Chain A
């Protein structure tokens, strides 16, 4: 992927993020994700039914990396099973930590593959995934 395309994907998802709204009903599980080392602060809302991630929404104030990665990740996760969702997140972490990962699983999240070069931004790139992972690991149904 060219640098330009990579940048464009990130910026598109920052300027016009997917799923950035507060849900208007109560079927969602809410988690707040914020970081002590940076100032990103977002609320994430998950709707899970029959083990399927039916919907995710988020709201908050955060940097370009945090907002864009949340937009891409939420889009990728909607419609997946809990297990598939956790697998995506796991592979995403592996990429960010410079370990072996499955490119086909993480799809557009590949745009953050060089984020390890800016250690301070790893937190921004994983802020929402950490919150979502927590919910996925804790939900029974």
Chain B
């Protein structure tokens, strides 16, 4: 779908690494160039036309994000550097202030490093306990297994909606229900889901959520932190400086702006916000439900074709996302990736920032294909052909 919107695809690049970052459509690039060429100015500053225009588009994007995830208010949307930045702000700006020794946080072994390491730090600093939901044989989170680890000490469940190695989709709505019945909060890492599924933070009753612009067809360096107003209002800024203060005096007196401005110190990533805004409009124009359906069918096709090859090991056949993790039997994943690159096919090899997951797959490294709507069956056919010829792999890469 919509391949013509992506200039980079003109030379038959086969881009299967959408879990790492997505390609950028022309409209996103054009919106950034427009800002550079026609109305460069800082935000929240001048009284001149260009600066006012920057303010207008900046806040318009906040409104677009609010609608995208169906938040209640625009003030619940904070622009950050990306998912990692958002999660760190949530964990160190909010949870660090409320958690106490022996309080429990629940995560899983298939979380991304950015949803594990900040909790490790709190474990060290505050003496909180980290508990892992046992994954089932399809590497999924089940409600039963969640119930096994939740206790009256559980204060927060912090999980990805879709994981980046396995690609399994978590039942967020059921999880928040159980969490809230237990007086615990829920943090959702939506980095891998935001471009592939409709998210409704009210319906799912999500307390905090994080995602990145660059995994949803927007620029790198821009992300979103969502928090329910009353929670976000208690999040302490980790960065102080311009734009976020209302009054400060020589004697140290300081009054901060209200949210979300309070949490966006310094000159913001204006072109990032503008690019994110046009990416959201772009997704809305295609319609997220159509994207989801197309990608779902494409993944099924890919899986069917791969399963016909007896020399391919697939690790997550039974999950529902857009990701397939595999290896050519007997070949190190990086060598496979380099071989595929000879044919202009981009896949990711490695542990995908989920270094404790080898406990689950019993393997350290895999090749990962993560699909997007611009991928096609034709591209998959090419991949399958190249894999079929992989007995020549050493001739090709050595």
Contact = CB atoms under 8 A, between A and B. Distances in A.
A49 interface: no
Contacts of A7: 394-395, 398
A106 B197 CA distance: 55
Interface in B333-358: 333-335, 338, 349-351
A38 B398 contact: no
B365 A39 contact: yes
Contacts of B334: 38-40, 63, 124
A64 interface: yes
Contacts of A124: 334
A71 to B, nearest CB: 14
A77 B94 CA distance: 55
Contacts, number: 35
A38 B348 CA distance: 11
A10 interface: yes
Interface in B302-353: 332-335, 338, 349-351
B397 interface: yes
Contact of B335 (A6, A41, A63, A120): A63
B365 A64 contact: no
B88 interface: no
Nearest to A11: B394
Interface string B183-201: 0000000000000000000
Interface in A16-63: 38-41, 61-63
A118 B335 CA distance: 13
B165 to A, nearest CB: 13
A107 B211 CA distance: 52
Contacts of B398: 6-7, 10-11, 64
Nearest to B393: A64
A58 B107 CA distance: 35
B32 to A, nearest CB: 28
Interface in B357-397: 364-365, 394-395, 397
A12 B334 CA distance: 19
Contacts of A118: 338
B394 A39 contact: no
Nearest to B333: A39
B335 A64 contact: yes
A61 B394 contact: no
Interface in A48-88: 61-64
B272 to A, nearest CB: 25
Given A39-B349, A39-B350, A39-B365, A64 B397 contact: yes
Interface of B: 332-335, 338, 349-351, 364-365, 394-395, 397-398
27 contacts: A6-B398, A7-B394, A7-B395, A7-B398, A10-B398, A11-B398, A38-B334, A39-B334, A39-B349, A39-B350, A39-B365, A41-B364, A61-B332, A61-B364, A61-B365, A63-B332, A63-B334, A63-B335, A63-B338, A64-B332, A64-B335, A64-B394, A64-B397, A118-B338, A120-B338, A121-B338, A124-B334
Interface of A: 6-7, 10-11, 38-41, 61-64, 118, 120-121, 124
